[in-house]
Structure 1
Amino acid sequence: MNLDLPGVVARYFEADRRRDPDAVIAQFTDDAAVTDEGQTRRGAAEILAWLRGPASQYQYTITLLGAETTGADTVLVTGRLEGNFPGGTADLKWRFTLAGDRIRQLEIAP
């Protein structure tokens, strides 16, 4: 599916698809926060540790299903993960809060 994503959001998913943590972290502001599985990581060092640790624990693919702008600087993306993690599939929402052409906050939740 070809979605009309802001450039930074498209770059985030492309870097994630390549499993390139350095390219992913480059999309975030220095003081960004990421919340995933109920845990919040703040700042580049914590987010990079998450990308290289828990976020890289399993092999998966993401199929993006939809995207909508929900505020002046907020984008909600829906998609499905499929991989070798418990359960094998998960429908998720990625809520991006942007600061110009970078990500200030990302919340990942079912």
Structure 2
Amino acid sequence: MSLNLPKPIADYVEANARLDLEGMMKHFTNDAVFIDNGKRYEGSAEIRKLLRDEAIAVKAIFEPDAVREEDGNVVLEGPAHGEFPGSPLRFTYRFTLANDAIKVLETTV
């Protein structure tokens, strides 16, 4: 399924599909916030560690199959599969963009 996504989000999803940590990181603002199931990570260093330890390490690839706009945010839904318990799991990713970059990313199962 082809989704019409803003470029920073499309590029982030494509980098995730390649398990490309640097490609995923380059789409965040320097002061970005990543909220993963309620736990907050702030700034590039914390987000990089989260993605390295919780996504790349278990080969977690998110494959969105639905997109909508909600309160000015872009919301993606779809399965993530990888080498983690319960794979695949269905996730919701809520992106807030600023200056053509990801300012906030919130993920929930």
- Per-residue CA shift, 1:48-68, capped at 9, x if unaligned? 111222222312333211101
Number of equivalent positions: 109
TM-score by length of structure 2 reads 0.91
SS of match in other structure, 1:33: strand
Who is 2:102 aligned against? Answer: 103
Could you tell me which amino acid in structure 1 is paired with residue 101 of structure 2?
A: R
SS of match in other structure, 2:12: helix
Unaligned runs of 5+ in 2: none
- Per-residue CA shift, 1:44-102, capped at 9, x if unaligned? 11111112222223123332111011133x10000111222111211110000000210
Any conservation in 1 of the 2:77–2:90 contact (CA below 8 Å)? yes
For 1:84 and 1:23, locate their aligned partners in 2 and report how far apart those are by CA, in whole Å: 21
TM-score by length of structure 1 reads 0.91
Who is 1:79 aligned against? Answer: 78
Who is 1:69 aligned against? Answer: 69
Who is 2:3 aligned against? Answer: 3
List, as ranges, runs of 4+ consecutive aligned residues in structure 1 with deviation greater than 6 Å. none
Farther off after superposition, 6-15 or 30-39: 30-39
The structure whose residues are more often strand, as a share, is: 1
CA RMSD of aligned residues (A): 1.3
List aligned pairs for 1:1-110, cutoff 5 A. 1-72=1-72, 74-110=73-109
Unaligned runs of 5+ in 1: none
The percent identity for this pair of structures is 35
What is the CA distance between 1:22 and its match in structure 2? 1.2
For 2:104 and 2:38, locate their aligned partners in 1 and report how far apart those are by CA, in whole Å: 14
